[in-house]
Amino acid sequence: MDAIDQRIVSCLVTDARSSYAEIGGAVGLSAPAVKRRVDKLLDMGVLRGFTAVVDPEALGWGTEAFVEVHCRGNIPPSEIRGRLEPLPEVVAAYTVSGAADAIVHLRAANIHHLETVLERLRGLDIVDRTISTVVLSTLLDRPPTPEH
């Protein structure tokens, strides 16, 4: 993972469908050399894959919320994960420091759908109570880059 690898990752984060020749031109390497490095980065797990960036609004996921989840008793993270994974509206979830056991990032079609999801979340027997924060607008959303 040297400086050239970092620049290759930057290129792919900017556009995952750019050709090896293009990337090579940007970093000063031939296309096969770039491919070998990309394969290695995938193998090492630095690159996990390539995905399309979609507009959630256009797909009918216009409403977002962050939910602090407080669990009953001592629930291991794997248990929380197992309960959240079947809910398609959960796009991300974290265990956190502080009073809450987890922060859950939800995406729903609208406020009504969000309410239904929150009810299902509260209905889980591991969940004691939840504190919801509805997202009004997204100010910023960008992928992490290799350079600081």
Partner DNA sequence: TGTGAAAACGTCCTGGA
Partner DNA sequence: TCCAGGACGTTTTCACA
Binding site for DNA (CB under 7 A): 4, 19-22, 24, 28-33, 35-37
**Binding partner selected for residue 74 from its own copies, DNA, none, CB under the kind-specific 5 to 8 Å limit:** none
CA 82 – CA 68 distance, rounded (Å): 17
Residue 71 binds its own copies (CB under 8 A): no
What is the Cα–Cα distance from 1 to 118, expressed in whole angstroms?
Answer: 42
What length does the chain have?
148
Cα gap 41→38, rounded to integer Å: 5
Question: Is 127 an interacting residue with respect to its own copies (CB under 8 A)?
Answer: no
Closest-CA residue to 84 (of 59, 67, 63): 67
Binding-site ranges for its own copies (CB under 8 A): 1, 6, 9, 12-17, 44-56, 58-61, 64, 66, 77, 80-81, 84-85, 88, 90-98, 100, 102-103, 107, 109, 133-146, 148
